[in-house]
Amino acid sequence: MSALPIKIVNRSSNPLPSYATEASAGMDIRADLTASVQLNPGERKLIPTGLFIELPVGYEAQVRPRSGLALKQGITCLNSPGTIDADYRGEIGVILINHSGETQVIQPGDRIAQLVVQPVTNCNWVPVSELADSARGHGGFGHTGVK
């Protein structure tokens, strides 16, 4: 499988995001900090990465939480997945929140999130007066009928 070429500017001292294994969907991105940052319980902060990307039109990058960080420290990403649009040229920032009961520390270079690049399908709305019936109908939020 060929890889999609994406232009990237790295203004951090961290290595470029990379896949940990051949089958990985996401690339770890790291904190671009000059000093450690404390996250108190319930606190959220925007953590810089020093990364700037130019995605091709028709793609997005999703910023997603790292499962190990969530399990071990109770830290996750807000606005998850965060979408980076193809026309955005600013620095990638990660909004982290501490869901644990203890203060957590983010160190310079820590792996703080994953970046997943995905194709995007645009749609054209077709206004109608009715929608076709389905087995599920109007049931939402836990009403799939599966037990």
List, for residues 67-84, the tens digit of each pLDDT value: 999 999 999 999 999 999
CB 77 within 8 A of CB 96: yes
- Cis (ω within 30 of 0) for the bond into 81? yes
pTM: 0.88
Question: In the chain, what is the greatest distance between 2 CA atoms, to the nearest angstrom?
Answer: 58
Q: What angle do CA 119, 125, 130 make, to 5 degrees?
A: 130
pLDDT by residue (tens digit) across 99-133? Answer: 999 999 999 999 999 999 999 999 999 999 999 99
Q: Write the class of the CATH domain 7-119.
A: mainly beta
pLDDT at 36: 98
User: How many other CB atoms are found less than 10 A from the CB of residue 129?
Assistant: 4
